[in-house]
Homo-oligomer: A and B are copies of this chain.
Amino acid sequence: MHSPNAIPSPTMSYSSITTEVDPLIERRSDSSLTRVSSTSTSHSERHSDYNDVVRDIIIGFADGLTVPFALCAGLSTLGDTRLVVMGGLAELFSGAISMGLGAYLAASTEKDHYHSEEAREWDEVTHKPEAERQEIYDILAQYHISHKAATPLVNELCKNPEMWVRFMMHFELKLECPETSRAWLSALTMGMSYFIGGLIPMIPYFMMKRAGDALLVSVVITALILLAFGYVKTVVTVHSRSAGVWGALQTLLIGALAAGASYGIVRALDSGSRQP
């Protein structure tokens, strides 16, 4: 759905998906995720990798199911399935490339951003330690921690500049160092999911000669998939079946509006240009 934050962060989806696990154990392994190295193959790490993949699939699939489907619906009004297939495939390939490489570029920019902020934080810890010290108090004061109760922690943290900077990165700037080791895998997963999501609504146009018939079959198939996909996606994130039903309907609505707009525009322009 082209959306910048269709699914919360990997950590979130991790805690969302493993609902069978006792919440306590789950949270434990959750917070330990930040401690395991990227080369580790511990249980929780593998879980996190798994959920990153699920997240990439969801984002790519959602986007792929909507726009190529809508474009094909629009082009189908011209009555030529060959044209629908050409336009649809062109959008499918360019969309998948743009999405996959765009995600890769975003991940690498994000990493640069993290390091640029980290360097600034080191500079401040080194050259303005008193002001940075005060900022720890300020952060903790947001949780009504008194100056007195915070002091032992502040004293200990300020003795270890590396941990001090890490604390400020996480709690002041709310930045986590993004992993780019798997950015290529992520780009590939997302691009492929976009491609597959967009290919499904096009299958009828490959197989049927009359564009109107193919459109009908495409609409029915895509509507069912959008409903199922919207339901699963929402239940996984919100843990509620009634929210899932709403999510399914909303996902369908977006697809319907996009396809309706596309259909209406091509039809209007086509009939307009055919008039004497």
A interface residue count range (under 10 / 10 to 19 / 20 to 34 / 35 or more): 35 or more
Stretch at the interface among A40-48, A90-98, A208-216: A90-98
Say yes or no: B131 contacts A24, CB within 8 Å.
Answer: yes
Say yes or no: B1 contacts A99, CB within 8 Å.
Answer: yes
Say yes or no: B15 contacts A258, CB within 8 Å.
Answer: no
Considering only residues 145-159 of chain A, those with a C-beta below 8 Å from chain B are: 145-146, 148-153, 155-157
Say yes or no: B23 contacts A120, CB within 8 Å.
Answer: yes
Measured between alpha carbons, how far is A266 from B86 in the docked complex, in Å?
5
CB distance from A149 to the nearest CB of B (A): 4
Collect the chain B residues with CB atoms within 8 Å of residue A273's CB: 82
Collect the chain B residues with CB atoms within 8 Å of residue A148's CB: 152
Say yes or no: A102 contacts B2, CB within 8 Å.
Answer: yes
CB distance from A248 to the nearest CB of B (A): 11
Measured between alpha carbons, how far is A139 from B163 in the docked complex, in Å?
13
Considering only residues 87-137 of chain A, those with a C-beta below 8 Å from chain B are: 87, 89-91, 93-95, 97-99, 101-103, 105-107, 109-110, 112-113, 116-117, 120, 124, 128, 131, 135
Collect the chain B residues with CB atoms within 8 Å of residue A75's CB: 86-87, 90
Say yes or no: B101 contacts A1, CB within 8 Å.
Answer: yes
Measured between alpha carbons, how far is A260 from B254 in the docked complex, in Å?
29
Say yes or no: A4 contacts B7, CB within 8 Å.
Answer: yes
Whether A66 contacts B143 in the complex (CB less than 8 A), given A94-B71, A135-B31, A172-B27, comes out as no
Contact pick for A4, options B89, B103, B243, CB 8 Å:
B103
